[in-house]
Amino acid sequence: MNEDRTAEIVETNSGKEENQVESLSDDLEIEGHSEDVESQASKPQSDRDRLLAYESELALEGDRYIRLVAEFTNYRRRVEQEMSRARHKGQADLLSGFLEVLDDLERVSCIEETESTNVAVLIEGIELVKRKFQQELEAMGVEVVDPCAEIFNPNFMEAMVTVPTDLTEEDGQVCEVFQKGYRLGDQLLRAARVSVLKEE
Protein backbone atom coordinates (compact mmCIF):
# COMPACT_ATOMS: atom_id res chain seq x y z
CA MET A 1 0.00 0.00 0.00
CA ASN A 2 2.86 2.31 0.76
CA GLU A 3 4.32 1.39 -2.56
CA ASP A 4 1.09 2.42 -4.32
CA ARG A 5 1.07 5.69 -2.46
CA THR A 6 4.69 6.36 -3.31
CA ALA A 7 4.07 5.62 -6.98
CA GLU A 8 1.12 7.98 -6.95
CA ILE A 9 3.19 10.81 -5.39
CA VAL A 10 5.99 10.22 -7.89
CA GLU A 11 3.50 10.37 -10.77
CA THR A 12 1.94 13.53 -9.35
CA ASN A 13 5.35 15.18 -8.89
CA SER A 14 6.52 14.16 -12.31
CA GLY A 15 3.27 15.52 -13.77
CA LYS A 16 3.83 18.80 -11.96
CA GLU A 17 7.40 18.97 -13.21
CA GLU A 18 6.26 18.30 -16.76
CA ASN A 19 3.65 21.05 -16.42
CA GLN A 20 6.27 23.43 -15.06
CA VAL A 21 8.67 22.55 -17.87
CA GLU A 22 5.92 23.03 -20.47
CA SER A 23 4.88 26.31 -18.83
CA LEU A 24 8.49 27.50 -18.75
CA SER A 25 9.06 26.58 -22.39
CA ASP A 26 5.81 28.35 -23.32
CA ASP A 27 7.00 31.44 -21.44
CA LEU A 28 10.33 31.32 -23.26
CA GLU A 29 8.61 30.95 -26.63
CA ILE A 30 6.32 33.89 -25.87
CA GLU A 31 9.24 36.07 -24.74
CA GLY A 32 11.28 35.16 -27.83
CA HIS A 33 8.29 35.77 -30.06
CA SER A 34 7.61 39.14 -28.42
CA GLU A 35 11.26 40.14 -28.91
CA ASP A 36 10.95 39.24 -32.62
CA VAL A 37 7.76 41.27 -32.89
CA GLU A 38 9.42 44.23 -31.15
CA SER A 39 12.50 44.08 -33.39
CA GLN A 40 10.30 43.81 -36.49
CA ALA A 41 8.18 46.72 -35.26
CA SER A 42 11.25 48.83 -34.49
CA LYS A 43 12.88 48.01 -37.86
CA PRO A 44 10.17 49.67 -39.97
CA GLN A 45 10.19 52.54 -37.49
CA SER A 46 13.94 53.08 -38.00
CA ASP A 47 13.52 52.80 -41.81
CA ARG A 48 10.73 55.35 -41.63
CA ASP A 49 12.92 57.65 -39.52
CA ARG A 50 15.75 57.27 -42.01
CA LEU A 51 13.39 58.05 -44.90
CA LEU A 52 12.11 61.14 -43.11
CA ALA A 53 15.69 62.26 -42.46
CA TYR A 54 16.55 61.80 -46.16
CA GLU A 55 13.45 63.72 -47.21
CA SER A 56 14.34 66.53 -44.81
CA GLU A 57 17.92 66.65 -46.11
CA LEU A 58 16.66 66.62 -49.71
CA ALA A 59 14.32 69.52 -48.94
CA LEU A 60 17.22 71.48 -47.42
CA GLU A 61 19.41 70.81 -50.47
CA GLY A 62 16.52 71.83 -52.75
CA ASP A 63 16.15 75.11 -50.86
CA ARG A 64 19.89 75.70 -51.03
CA TYR A 65 19.87 75.05 -54.80
CA ILE A 66 16.96 77.46 -55.33
CA ARG A 67 18.78 80.13 -53.30
CA LEU A 68 21.98 79.62 -55.32
CA VAL A 69 20.08 79.90 -58.62
CA ALA A 70 18.39 83.10 -57.39
CA GLU A 71 21.73 84.55 -56.23
CA PHE A 72 23.38 83.73 -59.57
CA THR A 73 20.46 85.25 -61.50
CA ASN A 74 20.71 88.43 -59.42
CA TYR A 75 24.50 88.51 -59.87
CA ARG A 76 24.18 88.13 -63.65
CA ARG A 77 21.54 90.88 -63.78
CA ARG A 78 23.79 93.17 -61.70
CA VAL A 79 26.78 92.53 -63.99
CA GLU A 80 24.68 93.21 -67.10
CA GLN A 81 23.41 96.47 -65.58
CA GLU A 82 26.94 97.54 -64.63
CA MET A 83 28.22 96.72 -68.12
CA SER A 84 25.34 98.66 -69.66
CA ARG A 85 26.08 101.65 -67.41
CA ALA A 86 29.79 101.48 -68.26
CA ARG A 87 28.97 101.31 -71.98
CA HIS A 88 26.65 104.32 -71.74
CA LYS A 89 29.25 106.24 -69.73
CA GLY A 90 31.88 105.47 -72.36
CA GLN A 91 29.55 106.65 -75.11
CA ALA A 92 28.73 109.81 -73.15
CA ASP A 93 32.42 110.55 -72.55
CA LEU A 94 33.17 109.98 -76.24
CA LEU A 95 30.34 112.15 -77.50
CA SER A 96 30.90 114.98 -75.02
CA GLY A 97 34.41 115.42 -76.43
CA PHE A 98 33.00 116.13 -79.89
CA LEU A 99 30.38 118.66 -78.80
CA GLU A 100 32.92 121.51 -78.90
CA VAL A 101 33.96 120.43 -82.38
CA LEU A 102 30.31 120.51 -83.42
CA ASP A 103 29.97 124.00 -81.91
CA ASP A 104 32.95 125.19 -83.97
CA LEU A 105 31.49 123.70 -87.15
CA GLU A 106 28.23 125.51 -86.48
CA ARG A 107 30.09 128.78 -85.94
CA VAL A 108 31.96 128.36 -89.24
CA SER A 109 28.74 127.56 -91.09
CA CYS A 110 27.04 130.66 -89.59
CA ILE A 111 29.66 133.11 -90.89
CA GLU A 112 27.77 135.57 -93.05
CA GLU A 113 29.05 135.96 -96.52
CA THR A 114 30.03 139.60 -96.94
CA GLU A 115 32.60 141.46 -98.94
CA SER A 116 35.07 141.20 -96.06
CA THR A 117 34.56 137.44 -95.78
CA ASN A 118 37.06 135.53 -97.83
CA VAL A 119 38.06 131.94 -98.38
CA ALA A 120 41.11 132.27 -96.14
CA VAL A 121 38.92 132.97 -93.09
CA LEU A 122 36.76 129.91 -93.80
CA ILE A 123 39.80 127.71 -94.30
CA GLU A 124 41.28 128.97 -91.05
CA GLY A 125 38.02 128.13 -89.22
CA ILE A 126 37.95 124.65 -90.74
CA GLU A 127 41.59 124.07 -89.78
CA LEU A 128 40.78 125.07 -86.22
CA VAL A 129 37.92 122.55 -86.09
CA LYS A 130 40.16 119.85 -87.58
CA ARG A 131 42.86 120.45 -84.95
CA LYS A 132 40.31 120.25 -82.13
CA PHE A 133 38.93 117.05 -83.57
CA GLN A 134 42.40 115.51 -83.79
CA GLN A 135 43.14 116.56 -80.21
CA GLU A 136 39.97 114.81 -79.02
CA LEU A 137 40.96 111.64 -80.87
CA GLU A 138 44.48 111.74 -79.40
CA ALA A 139 43.05 112.25 -75.89
CA MET A 140 41.08 109.04 -76.38
CA GLY A 141 44.20 107.15 -77.46
CA VAL A 142 43.38 107.04 -81.18
CA GLU A 143 46.47 107.02 -83.41
CA VAL A 144 46.58 108.13 -87.05
CA VAL A 145 47.96 105.65 -89.59
CA ASP A 146 49.54 107.88 -92.26
CA PRO A 147 52.09 105.61 -93.97
CA CYS A 148 53.36 107.83 -96.77
CA ALA A 149 56.78 106.59 -98.05
CA GLU A 150 56.69 103.63 -95.63
CA ILE A 151 56.91 99.96 -96.62
CA PHE A 152 53.44 98.51 -97.26
CA ASN A 153 52.08 96.67 -94.21
CA PRO A 154 48.88 94.67 -94.88
CA ASN A 155 48.05 94.72 -91.15
CA PHE A 156 47.38 98.48 -91.23
CA MET A 157 47.03 99.29 -94.93
CA GLU A 158 44.80 98.43 -97.85
CA ALA A 159 46.41 98.60 -101.32
CA MET A 160 44.00 100.21 -103.76
CA VAL A 161 46.35 100.35 -106.79
CA THR A 162 49.94 99.52 -107.70
CA VAL A 163 52.20 102.05 -109.37
CA PRO A 164 55.07 100.78 -111.56
CA THR A 165 58.63 101.80 -110.68
CA ASP A 166 62.10 101.09 -112.11
CA LEU A 167 63.88 101.38 -108.77
CA THR A 168 64.37 98.20 -106.75
CA GLU A 169 64.62 100.03 -103.42
CA GLU A 170 61.13 101.54 -103.96
CA ASP A 171 59.45 98.15 -104.49
CA GLY A 172 56.67 97.68 -101.92
CA GLN A 173 56.81 101.28 -100.75
CA VAL A 174 53.66 103.36 -100.23
CA CYS A 175 53.40 105.91 -103.02
CA GLU A 176 50.30 107.86 -101.98
CA VAL A 177 47.79 107.80 -99.10
CA PHE A 178 44.22 108.16 -100.35
CA GLN A 179 42.65 107.84 -96.92
CA LYS A 180 44.37 107.81 -93.53
CA GLY A 181 43.82 104.92 -91.17
CA TYR A 182 43.16 104.94 -87.44
CA ARG A 183 43.85 102.52 -84.61
CA LEU A 184 43.06 102.39 -80.91
CA GLY A 185 45.84 100.53 -79.14
CA ASP A 186 46.16 97.18 -80.91
CA GLN A 187 42.74 97.44 -82.54
CA LEU A 188 42.57 98.76 -86.10
CA LEU A 189 39.61 101.11 -86.49
CA ARG A 190 40.20 101.68 -90.19
CA ALA A 191 42.97 100.63 -92.56
CA ALA A 192 44.83 103.32 -94.51
CA ARG A 193 43.98 103.19 -98.22
CA VAL A 194 47.14 103.57 -100.28
CA SER A 195 48.82 103.08 -103.62
CA VAL A 196 51.94 100.89 -103.62
CA LEU A 197 55.04 101.06 -105.83
CA LYS A 198 55.86 97.84 -107.66
CA GLU A 199 59.07 97.19 -109.54
CA GLU A 200 58.65 96.12 -113.17
Indicate if the pLDDT at residue 74 is higher than 90.
Answer: yes
| Per-residue model confidence as pLDDT tens digits over 40-69 | 555 557 888 888 889 999 999 999 999 999
| % residues pLDDT > 90 (the chain) | 39
What distance in Å separates the CA atoms of residue 26 and residue 34, rounded to the nearest whole number? 12
Q: What is the pLDDT of residue 58?
A: 93
Q: What is the pLDDT of residue 140?
A: 85
pTM, rounded to two decimals: 0.52
Indicate if the pLDDT at residue 76 is higher than 60.
Answer: yes
Q: What is the pLDDT of residue 188?
A: 92
What strand order describes the sheet that includes 187-190? 142-145, 181-184, 187-190
Whether residue 153 contacts residue 181, with contact meaning beta carbons closer than 8 Å, is answered with no
Q: Estimate the crossing angle of helix 2-109 against helix 119-139, to 10 degrees.
A: 160
In the predicted model, what is the mean pLDDT of the chain? 80
Q: What is the pLDDT of residue 161?
A: 96
| Per-residue model confidence as pLDDT tens digits over 130-185 | 888 888 888 888 999 999 889 999 999 999 999 999 998 889 999 999 999 999 88
For residue 162, what are the contacts with CB-CB under 8 A and spacing of at least 6?
Answer: 195, 196, 197, 198
Q: Phi, psi (5° rounding) for residue 4? A: -65, -40
Q: What confidence tier does 102 reach under pLDDT thresholds 50, 70, 90?
A: confident
Indicate if the pLDDT at residue 37 is higher than 50.
Answer: no
Indicate if the pLDDT at residue 10 is higher than 50.
Answer: no
**149 conformational bin, left if phi > 0, alpha if psi -120 to 50, beta if neither:** left
Q: What is the pLDDT of residue 116?
A: 60
